[in-house]
Chain A
Amino acid sequence: MHQQSSVPKLGIGLLYQEQLRPFIEREQQHFDFLELIPDIMWTDMGYGSSPRFIENRRGISLLRQLHREMPVILHSIGFSIGSAHRFDREHIAQIARWYEWLKFPWHSDHLAFMFTEHATSELNVGVTMPLPYDQESLDLLMPRVREMRSSVPIPFLLENNVYFFKYSQQDFDEAAFLNQLCEQSGCRLLLDLHNLYTNCRNHRDDPYRFLEKLNLENVLEIHVAGGMEAQGFYFDAHSGVSPQKVWELLDWVLPRVPNLGGVTFEMIGSWLVDVGEDGLTAQLARMKEMWMRHQPAPQPFEATV
Chain B
Amino acid sequence: MSQRSFQTIIARMVVDTEFRAHVREHGLQSLADDLTPLEQERLLQVASDRGMEATRLVHKDFRLSKLYIMLPLTRFLLGRKRMIREASAFWSVNPPVSHYFLQEAIDFCDHLLKRLASGLRVKYLYEIVSYERAALELQRPCQHEEAARSQTVNFNYDPMILFTQLSRQQRPRAVPPLRCTLVGTLDEDENVQWDILKSNS
Contacts and interface: CB of A to CB of B under 8 A. Distances in A.
Contact of A165 (B55, B98, B141, B190): B55
Interface stretch (A24-32, A77-85, A145-153, A291-299): A77-85
Interface string A159-185: 000011111110000000000000000
A22 interface: no
Contacts of A165: 46, 49, 51-52, 55
Interface residues of B, number: 39
B190 A123 contact: no
B46 to A, nearest CB: 5
B7 A129 contact: yes
B100 A116 contact: no
Contact of B51 (A51, A117, A124, A164): A164
Interface residues of A, number: 44
Interface stretch (A102-110, A227-235, A256-264, A279-287): A227-235
A126 B57 contact: no
Given A164-B55, A165-B51, A168-B45, A126 B4 contact: no
6 contacts: A44-B98, A118-B97, A123-B8, A126-B59, A164-B51, A167-B42
Given A57-B190, A113-B7, A167-B42, A122 B97 contact: yes
Q: Which 8 A-B pairs have the closest CB atoms?
A: A165-B51, A164-B51, A84-B3, A164-B54, A54-B141, A116-B11, A165-B49, A43-B141
Nearest to A46: B98
A251 interface: no
B24 interface: no
B14 interface: yes
Interface of B: 3-4, 6-8, 10-12, 14-15, 38, 41-42, 45-46, 49-55, 57-59, 62-63, 95-100, 102, 141-143, 189-190
B45 A123 contact: no
B108 to A, nearest CB: 15
B46 A54 contact: no
Nearest to B39: A132
A39 interface: yes
B145 to A, nearest CB: 10
A153 B73 CA distance: 46
A235 B49 contact: no
